[in-house]
Structure 1
């Protein structure tokens, strides 16, 4: 099998794993979920959100959608094995956020993975942050096992992890296509933790809407 065939099989496998995770996450048959779709200039990413598991984080994300903050936003960071510095643990994901011309809503309290029960696995969406309690609009989508971003991990000194709140149900091939975009954007600070991970041409977020 040639390289293209191997990559195609790998993408199909990750897409299937994201769907399996989406189907297996609900612990209760009556658990409420909310579906949304992120439309980008590379295709659509369908998400299932879990408001009963992560009420503050889901409400914040939906408020951002309703305010139109993501329309005209972008995916601008792609983390791969080839563009991160040696660390105790590695991560692989894409990160995006609001239209920078829009004023963000206030940040929200931090909901840990210990609270939600949603680990940073393939296809899971989570909020980016600095200190705990500073998340508001920026988010990322995991590719593969990113449990190093869960509560209790020592990847971050505060060991609080990041706030997961949903999972991709369709469109992981779009996520991986975004991850493979060139990331040689020059940065003023070569010691920045995101050095080498900023896309040369960010992928536009055309809209994020409820389904």
Structure 2
């Protein structure tokens, strides 16, 4: 199975676990600014607290520490560059398959606050229910601000040794389920409570970094928006939202992992890829070929496949199930995948889960699809957007140079147009008339460029001198309307024959000959 199902996950589903020591009476008033010291074979971890932000969580953690609840437990889930998780009594001597499911009978209501989940922050694990924290906690190894306001921050590391120990634990060898291969290396051997004033070499820490917002009422979903990919969509609230490193083109760009209620965690992912001028049918053919190989190998069974639309965009949906193996275990997985086709990119939204649990979260995936939108670039003005939104994708220059060594030059000239030509009234008036005429024929040429690669290369060759001459605007000062008329419009007019006549005449003559 793709490792994403097994390793990019944070098990937060805590089940009932009784512990008589929890009921032990303690006197917290004996301490001034209490601080907890966790001793491990790799070093000490010293935790200070934020009682004003999460008073119930701080009290709960200190009570459990005083009672000996954490003595002998492991950091049972370790994901470098993300977090280390501990606090499960099942890890003392229980079956490793139960690690991550233990905790006290009593649960704590959420105390979400504005403290960011930066490196060294200590936060409380929970299940999909916000009010389900028990004893399990995690320490952030690398800034993970997608967790902000969804998990209760209640403390942070306060000594240099603590950060060194955090790094050592994050670096230990783990298996496919993120469990430590050598558990004794990461066992909490002893927990003590002292006053903050008794800690030597205490770091001089400033106030924790906070987000500039307040917790809003729950809507049942959390929204993800990316200016890089120009998309936005929602995933179920409480699911772990991540942006993993993109190791290969078809690796997910965004992953949301839900709480594990069956043999695997439910996963919703988004993969963004360039169309490279392939049509939707081309992409479907490639997908079918990949699927065919999996079906013939006996690893996959296709249930259904069909063309659909998603908010007016053409799309392709496929449902399938298969058996996947990882680390000696087999999993029966079902998935639904929807490929949404855009102008220059296509977006693959996928939902996977165990076969028996698939339907339980399918409606959440449908909500994600309903929320999916392709955003326009907020930095473009109306004229820039008209370049991309003409029917047929009508900019013949952009089409001819797309993906080539000239593409950066074209982009620079667009920025030059937006920031220089359109900064004057005369330039704006000229470009408005210019575009009306240009787009009366350029979509036809652009479409033919997509169909005929030889013609595309000829157009690219013919416009190269024009692009060079337009670049002159990079080296002149346009400080007035007269300068704009003298330089900008003059250069464009100088190139009219290459801009219009040569491509237009050539394409129409070819169409009459071959079509």
Q: TM-score range by the shorter chain?
A: 0.5 to 0.7
Tell me the CA shift for residue 99 of structure 1: 3.0
Superposition pairs of residues 176-187 of structure 1, within 5 angstroms: 176-184=167-175
Q: Which residue of 2 is the match for residue 146 of structure 1?
A: 144
Partner in structure 2 of residue 168 of structure 1: 157
Name the structure, 1 or 2, with higher relative contact order (CA <8 Å, separation 6+). Answer: 1
Q: How far apart, in 2, do the equivalents of 1:175 and 1:103 lie?
A: 23
Match among 147, 171, 187 for residue 204 of structure 1: 187
Structure 2 distance, partners of 1:145, 1:98, is: 23
Is the contact made by 2:47 and 2:155 (CA closer than 8 Å) also made in structure 1?
Answer: yes
Do the aligned residues in 1 keep the contact of 2:115 with 2:153 (CA within 8 Å)? yes
Residue 199 of structure 1 and its aligned partner are, at CA, apart by 1.6
2:54 matched residue in structure 1: 54
Instruction: Find the aligned partners of 1:133 and 1:66 in 2 and give their Cα distance.
Output: 23
- Secondary structure, counterpart of 1:200 in structure 2: coil
| Unpaired segments ≥5 residues, structure 1 | 1-31, 82-91, 152-160, 186-194
Q: Which residues of 2 match residues 8-47 of structure 1 at below 5 A?
A: 33-47=33-47
| Residue in 1 that maps onto 2:97 | none
Counterparts in 2 of 1:98-113, with a 5 A limit?
98-100=88-90, 104-113=104-113
Q: 1:119 aligns with which of 116, 121, 145?
A: 116
Cα distance between partner residues in 1 of 2:169 and 2:190: 16
Tell me if structure 2 keeps the 8 A contact 1:69–1:104.
no
- SS of the residue corresponding to residue 59 of structure 1 reads helix
Q: 1:114-151 CA deviation, whole Å, 9 max, x = no partner?
A: xxx32111100001110211111000000121111112
> CA 1:201–1:41 in 2, change beyond 3 Å: closer, same or farther?
same
**3-state SS of 1:206 partner:** strand
Are the equivalent residues in 2 in contact too, given 1:36–1:46 (CA < 8 A)? yes
Q: 1:105 to 1:207 in 2, by over 3 A?
A: farther
Q: Is 1:70 aligned to 2:38, yes or no?
A: no
Q: Residues 36 and 209 of structure 1 are in contact (CA less than 8 Å); yes or no, is this contact kept in structure 2?
A: yes
Q: Which runs of 5+ in 2 are unaligned?
A: 1-31, 93-101, 195-515
Distance in 1 (alpha carbons) for counterparts of 2:145 and 2:78 = 17
Indicate the SS of the match to 1:162. Answer: coil
Contact conserved, 1:112 with 1:162, CA < 8 A, in 2? yes
Q: CA deviation at 1:34?
A: 2.6
Q: How far apart are the structure 1 equivalents of 2:111 and 2:78?
A: 24
Larger Rg belongs to: 2
* Distance across 2 between alignment mates of 1:54 and 1:183: 32
The match for 1:14 is none
Structure-2 change in CA distance of 1:65 and 1:105 (3 Å): farther
Q: CA deviation at 1:98?
A: 3.6
State TM-score, norm by structure 2: 0.28
Equivalent residues of 2:103, 2:136 under 8 A apart: no
| Cα distance in 2, alignment partners of residues 105 and 45 from structure 1 | 26
Structure 1 segments, 4+ long, off by >3 Å, are none
Q: CA RMSD in A?
A: 1.8
Q: CA deviation at 1:105?
A: 4.8
Measured in 2, the distance between the counterparts of 1:34 and 1:132 equals: 26
Counterpart-to-counterpart distance in 2, 1:76 and 1:126: 16
> Would you say the 8 A contact 1:95–1:141 is kept in 2?
yes
